Amino acid sequence: MRPFGDNGFSRGDPIEWGSVLRIDEVSRALERCFDPLVHASALPDAARHAHHRAFIATHVGSGILALALLPLGFVFDDAFATLASVVLAIMGLEALVGLFVSRTGRIDSGYVLSALLLTMLASVVAVFTGGLSSFALVWFAVAPIEAALSNSRRVIAAAAAIGALGLAVVAGITHFGFLPQPVGIAVDGALASGAAAVVALVYAAMVAIRIETQHRDAERRARSVESRYRLLADTMIDVVTCHGADADVTFASPAVSRLLGVPPSALMGDGLFRRVHVADRPAYLTALSEAIYRGLSAVQFRLRRGDEGEPESWVWVETLLRRSEEAAAGFGGVVVAVTRDIEHRKAQEDEILKARQDAEAASFAKTRFLANVSHELRTPLNAIIGFSDILGQEMFGKFEFERHREYSRLIKDSGEHLLQVVNDILDMSKIEAGSFDVTPEPFDLKPVLDRCVQIMEPQAKQAGVTLRLDVEDNMPELVADRRACRQIILNLLSNAVKFTDRGGEVVCGARRDGRRIAFYVRDNGIGIAPEDLPRLGNPFVQADSGYDRRREGTGLGLSVVKGLAALHGGDMTIDSALGVGTTVTVSLPLNCDREATPIAVHKARAEAGQTFRAAKRA
Please state the pTM of the whole predicted model.
0.40
pLDDT higher than 80, residue 545: no
Q: What is the predicted pLDDT for the residue at 487? A: 83
- pLDDT tens profile 129-140: 878 877 778 778
- pLDDT tens profile 189-199: 555 555 556 65
Distance in angstroms (rounded) separating the CA atoms of residues 539 and 543? 12
- pLDDT tens profile 91-129: 888 889 889 998 998 989 998 998 898 888 888 888 888
Q: Which CATH number is correct for 236-341, 3.30.450.20, 2.40.50.90, 3.20.20.120, 3.40.50.150?
A: 3.30.450.20
Contact 144, 156 (CB under 8 A): yes
Distance in angstroms (rounded) separating the CA atoms of residues 39 and 103? 6
- pLDDT tens profile 480-518: 888 888 888 888 888 888 888 888 999 999 998 888 899
For the segment 206-225, the average pLDDT, to the nearest whole number, is: 71
Greater confidence, 386 or 333? 386
Give domain 437-617's CATH superfamily: Histidine kinase-like ATPase, C-terminal domain (3.30.565.10)
> What residues have CB less than 8 Å from 275, skipping those under 6 apart?
260, 267, 303, 304
Q: pLDDT over 90 for what percent of the chain? A: 10
For the segment 448-462, the average pLDDT, to the nearest whole number, is: 87
Greater confidence, 393 or 571? 571
Distance in angstroms (rounded) separating the CA atoms of residues 274 and 159? 55
What is the pLDDT confidence band of residue 28, given thresholds at 50, 70 and 90? Answer: low
DSSP string, 346-365: HHHHHHHHHHHHHHHHHHHH
- pLDDT tens profile 154-182: 988 998 899 889 889 888 888 888 777 77
Could you state, in order of their start, the residue ranges of all structural domains in the chain? 33-219, 236-341, 363-435, 437-617
- pLDDT tens profile 45-86: 777 888 888 888 888 888 888 788 777 666 655 666 677 778
pLDDT higher than 70, residue 5: no
Distance in angstroms (rounded) separating the CA atoms of residues 233 and 259? 14
Least-confidence region, from 49-63, 271-285, 601-615: 601-615
> What does DSSP assign to residue 517?
E
Averaged pLDDT of the chain: 77
How many whole angstroms from its chain centre is CA 277? Answer: 30
DSSP string, 28-83: HHHHHTTGGGS-GGGSS-HHHHHHHHHHHHHHHHHHHHHHHHGGGGGGS-HHHHHH
